[in-house]
Structure 1
């Protein structure tokens, strides 16, 4: 007999979701404020002496690489692949490894340390990881032990995390549908919407009603100006696909070489990546550190002192930070790269305004990296509180998705999630094989009572 919608068990699940969503909202807001303070600390050090990053950044990268060699290894990278992998593989031990409360706390702490050391990373991906971990841990703590129930907690926590991180509630729902699951089940609609609304209300209550980059009154008139859609969709889509391809592990080529070096000397390799980031930053006026939020906003507003090659340099800085194997997301840094590339393209598109081309570049590059055009379009619209650009943004994102797939066949988050699953399955199979191999040896050492062999 079906359980009543008003039964005590159903109300217990609702209270768990509501409490978890509040917790995720508070964690996202606290994490955002702490991230701002951590990066401000780094900036104050740089202002005091521009040579300090040559020591501080490589040391931070090396320390984080060392700390994440053992139990904290799942805190590496964005965090979104971990949430997707936990959602796809219904294995309790695997989920506990990726989404435990210890991982959530570790993810926040190590990401803050990376920002304080100048890493070119974002906090939005880690917030998704933290949101999934908090709701999953809460559900497990209060009896949601079956795989289906755990999946709902993971999905709702991920969506709430992204919504609260960017203050983009609609993008949180779209992200969960397009990126996390690839499908939409009717029974999940209420759970997702409730979690996103509650986390969003918490963020709204503390930070107020704001747009991430501010409110922009931007438009793109029909006609020659729409060439900007073609240009940004093609160029930024290809660039995003290249970035995704470079960070997905591979056995051969440059990625294979990087993987082998990192495996042999992870700490030294991370330090070298930090040094490369600092060296690249010397080619700019404001550096390539942090999320790139300030530079992206300045470019979007049309008054910036960043160098013309900022988009390309930030692209390389993001690669260096990700290859180091440290915790940190790629969402905000991707928007900064897209802004830089959009500014470059605007010089060839006089019929389209600078801000319009920059916004298209941000959306298209993000779509190229993630190959999730709907999520990229909705995020870009909500980040600037702009609805006039929704049609050209969607067109650019769709084109970017198509061109990105020419370079990188598989969406980056799903490819990284599959790598996590494959590694887990391989390690588990090896462990089982060792157990089987040991058993005959143990049995052979036992006394054979029938043959009369003495102990």
Structure 2
């Protein structure tokens, strides 16, 4: 049987010479466009990858130093409690002076500064973002917060990590040579904020949600690839150095129904309003502090804040200072452990004194600790079963943080990722939403929005050196 032969196209079906030429030209154009597009995308992304890697390394180093500083403060406080009346005021003064003399924008949390810089990231005002996110600011931020913590300050490192990360992304973005294809400067700062939070807490989803909910109103389609990539690289770098850790481990969480729903609703409303009241108290203290104009008066205020916190540290002990993470761990992992009824108020005051000193330090972790203590107290007050205790504590953490920062989804996702308790995601989200509504009754705006306005005014009021020199000559 003869083999089948392949059917040859007829002369009429064969492409003409001109069609073959045009086909080759089209293919070359497509390949050229494709390769140019890929090359441009890679060149645009490369600086972000480098900045994300650096963010992960810096976040881990900062975490290690922060843990050392907190443990050191516990050590000297337990060994010589009377030192609190000397070391705490001295640490407050030194941490405040570092910010005041070297980088005023390094004071406080760092998130309002990033928000203000994002708003200033236009061609007209971009240079002024250096006052908020320069590398000097980042270095002073770390030094000031570590000094404050060594002296017993009630602060966290998460907000500062976000500001430091945004400063790294801004620096890398500025170092790109002329002609290098760049993403927008605003996207660089937004991405830096997301990478910082993801690396600080090991919460990649929290970093993404935080950007969408808190840092910007820009539609996510404009920066999703940059943010997702930065979060992955920064998070993987942190995990590679620290291991696949959870910030708060794997607490046992049970949802037995019935009475526990009353607990969820109660702690959400109470802690949400408490968080908003705490934010209002910080704003009031910031406003009151501004009446001290001279250096001596300002130093006196800072020393008084340190002395008061030293007194609390002396009388209450190590639970009144530091980030509060050990307290949360004991509540979640030690059976039948309960905090004293007054500890929430003590840490509230400690947070306010530390923040109003004018030094660097965040309020994310410390807010979570106050929320957990309040949740523990409310659970006992309304007789929530011990099996549901951890759920109430987690919801209270979400709710108090929501009351302060007004980002319910961010708070819920952060606590979810810190504990890997996906089974109670709806309870955490419900707590955040109820807390948001309750907090809005106290103040319709978030703490960070209030502070952002102040940092914007300060940044806009500062003249670039060249403009100031020209103005002085004229």
TM-score (ref. length: structure 2): 0.86
Question: Is 1:119 aligned to 2:150, yes or no?
Answer: no
2:117 to 77, 86, 99: 86
Unaligned runs of 5+ in 1: 443-455
Summarize the Cα distance change of 1:255–1:413 in structure 2 as closer, same or farther, 3 Å threshold: closer
CA distance in 2, matches of 1:146, 1:317: 47
1:343 equivalenced with 2:376 (yes/no): yes
Match runs of 1:235-384 below 5 Å:
235-248=270-283, 256-261=287-292, 265-303=297-335, 304=337, 306-352=339-385, 353-384=388-419
The residue aligned with 1:449 is none
Q: In terms of Rg, which structure is larger?
A: 2
**CA–CA distance in 1 between the matches of 2:441 and 2:320?**
28
Report the counterpart of residue 43 of structure 2 in structure 1: 12
1:135 to 164, 169, 180: 169
Displacement of 1:224:
2.3
SS in 1 for 2:318: coil
Separation of aligned partners in 1, 2:41 and 2:57: 25
Given the alignment of the two structures, is residue 157 of structure 1 paired with residue 188 of structure 2, yes or no?
Answer: no
How far is the alpha carbon of 1:427 from its aligned partner? 4.8
Among 452, 461, 467, which residue is 1:417 paired with? 452
- 1:101 and 1:433 map into 2 onto residues whose CA distance is 22
Evaluate the alpha carbon distance shift between residue 433 and residue 195 of structure 1 in structure 2; reply closer, same or farther with a 3 A threshold: closer
CA 1:435–1:146 in structure 2 vs 1: closer, same or farther (change >3 Å)?
farther
Cα offsets for 1:18-58 (capped at 9, x unmatched): 11101000100111011111122222211221111110010
Asked if structure 1 preserves the Cα contact closer than 8 Å seen for 2:117 and 2:132, the reply is yes
Which residue matches 1:386? 421
Aligned to 2:402, the other structure's residue is in SS state helix
Deviation at 1:137? Answer: 0.4
Residue in 1 aligned with 2:202? 167
The match for 1:30 is 61
1:5 deviation in Å?
6.5
2-structure distance, mates of 1:414, 1:255: 14
- 8 A Cα contact 1:63 1:267, kept in partner: no
Specify every segment of 5 or more residues in structure 2 that has no aligned partner in the other structure, as ranges: 1-32
Count of aligned pairs: 434
Q: How does 1:44-123 map to 2 (within 5 A)?
A: 44-90=75-121, 91-123=125-157
Deviation, structure 1 residue 142: 1.2
Instruction: Tell me by how many angstroms 1:132 deviates.
Output: 0.5
